[in-house]
Chain A
Amino acid sequence: MSKIVAITGAGAMSECMRQINPDVVPAFPITPSTQVIEDFSQFVADGRVDTEMITVESEHSAMSACIGAAAAGGRVMTATSSAGMALMWEMLYIAASMRQPIVMTLINRALSAPINIHADHGDSMGARDAGWIQLYAENNQEAYDNLIMAPRIAEAMNVRLPVMVCMDGFIISHCVQTMQLEDDDRVKAFIGEFASTYPVLDTDHPATWGALDLQDYYMEHKRALHMAMKNSKTVIQNVSAEFADVFGRKYDLFESYRLDDADRVIVAINSVAGEIKEVIDERRDAGDRVGLLKIRVFRPFPYAEIAAALEGVKIVTVLDRSESMGGYGPLFCEIRAALFDAPERPLVYSRTFGLGGRELFMADIHDIFEENKRYLETGTVEKTADYLKVRGG
């Protein structure tokens, strides 16, 4: 039976993995994604899933085993965070380039050094060029729903790409929220049976995976991967529409929150969107025309759709929860690129916040709206890129 439960974000992911019942889960636990694997290993031990769980000696091995198991013909899932995914780096690209529909929960955490276990998006943003579809979530429910949809998206025959389901470390992974836990059978029915392509274990049809490409073919394979990523956009929309029909919760490539008639908009990813919505409601009550565009799908990036959604907006504040040292933040670069060809290009600027888990409170978000109000009145942005809440300015 579908029921309302109080559960942590990480707990919701392991429950979802139990419902999906993947063939293989190779994993190496790392804070703050540990609970996902901890709970799931209990399900394995208790015989509540049929999964072959492989406890590997590192994350590089975890992703290697994921690729091998997926190439062998199984539905494969894992989870990691931060340094764990950094150690997977080489294999992330191989998973995507070998077009294995692996589904991974990534609980966003800052990268060392200094060592820090709290939320920022440095891990997933660094992996944005690897060829993984990236879904982001504001809260436990969205993360859980994304994980239900992820295998459908990954396994679509015109996609066949790995999917990363992201949420903020601790803020979401370790905080108990109430959410709708769907019925096991309905989740299983929604996901369906796994269909493999050229499985290695099909010895009647031997195939070679991971062969060499020279100057003559490498570029064509990358071009094909890019096309799969483009195809995935429609697949994500279709799967989300079907999800809404079955489970009643609506998702798209991004969420438009009170964007109609908004002059000043914040673009953000993940948990901070919750506070931003509260602030927007307060300011809207006072007659302030502000809104939020919350990214759900960062790869593939919906440039045209975002440009259309932001049409008529006069100023856009992009909040990046990761830093590109010596460059602009990754979300800012995409939003600016999306808006460059807009008939009436709004002012667009970047504010980096929340690195290593530093909180952004509702008062801080009010300050952002006061700041962009001032910029809109004067018609100039003081600094194209700056930090929020860093001592020394």
Chain B
Amino acid sequence: MKEKYRLKDWQELPIGGVVADGGNSADYETGTWRTSRPIWHGENCINCLTCWIFCPEDAFILKDGVTKSGKSRKEIDHINYYHCKGCGLCARECPVNKKGKRVAIEFVKEEH
């Protein structure tokens, strides 16, 4: 995760709101928008990657893993809270959550 995004003073800004360095939207901390946060419970996760597909901010970070039968696959590693804006799509679409017996992605109020 990146360091806490520091908002610049007016003296530091490029003239006229110009964006002088292309491709810098990843620097933007959409995490400040969050009023609720998803919490990922790895012990209940089946690594279907539905959350990763749905996440509009690409906040689910993957790692390399293997299935029980030894096949290589991608698995959820963690949630990047710098970019997670707390929309809750992941918790809503999670098939484990939908079954109702266990919770793989909990969605709780952000504590400020």
Contacts and interface: CB of A to CB of B under 8 A. Distances in A.
Interface in B1-26: 7-11, 13-20, 22
A100 B17 CA distance: 11
Contact of B16 (A99, A205, A216): A99
Nearest to A100: B16
Name the interface size band of chain A.
20 to 34
A210 B9 CA distance: 19
A221 B22 contact: no
Contacts of A100: 16
B18 A209 contact: yes
A207 B20 CA distance: 5
B60 to A, nearest CB: 25
A37 B32 CA distance: 51
A227 B16 contact: no
A216 B22 contact: no
A100 B22 CA distance: 21
A217 B17 CA distance: 9
Contacts of A213: 17
Nearest to A206: B22
B7 A216 contact: yes
Contact of B10 (A98, A205, A211, A221): A221
A342 interface: no
A211 B14 CA distance: 12
A208 interface: yes
A213 B32 CA distance: 15
A182 to B, nearest CB: 31
Nearest to A157: B15
Interface string B87-102: 0000000000000000
B61 to A, nearest CB: 25
Nearest to A208: B19
A209 B16 contact: yes
Interface in A212-270: 213, 216-217, 219-221, 223-224, 227
Nearest to B15: A99
Name the interface size band of chain B.
10 to 19
A97 interface: yes
B20 A198 contact: yes
Nearest to B33: A214
Contacts of B18: 98, 197-198, 207-209, 211
A217 B13 contact: yes
A98 B16 contact: yes
Given A221-B10, A223-B10, A224-B11, A211 B16 contact: no
A160 interface: yes
Contacts of A209: 16-19
Contacts of B22: 206-208
A31 B47 CA distance: 71
A219 B15 CA distance: 14
Contact of A220 (B9, B16, B19, B20): B9
Contacts of A210: 17
A90 to B, nearest CB: 16
Given A208-B18, A208-B19, A221 B13 contact: yes
A223 B32 CA distance: 23
A224 B20 contact: no
Nearest to B24: A208
Nearest to A216: B7
A97 B22 CA distance: 21
B45 to A, nearest CB: 34
Contacts of A160: 15-16
Given A206-B22, A207-B20, A208-B22, A220 B13 contact: yes
B6 to A, nearest CB: 11
Contact of A198 (B9, B14, B32): B14
Task: Find the residue from B8, B15, B16, B17 having the highest chain A CB count within 10 A.
Answer: B16
Interface string B31-71: 01000000000000000000000000000000000000000
29 contacts: A97-B16, A98-B17, A98-B18, A100-B16, A160-B16, A197-B15, A197-B18, A198-B15, A198-B18, A198-B20, A207-B19, A207-B20, A207-B22, A208-B18, A208-B19, A209-B17, A209-B18, A209-B19, A210-B17, A211-B19, A213-B17, A217-B7, A217-B8, A217-B13, A217-B17, A220-B9, A220-B13, A221-B13, A221-B16
5 closest A-B pairs by beta carbon, nearest first, are: A99-B16, A208-B19, A220-B10, A223-B10, A98-B16
Interface of B: 7-11, 13-20, 22, 32
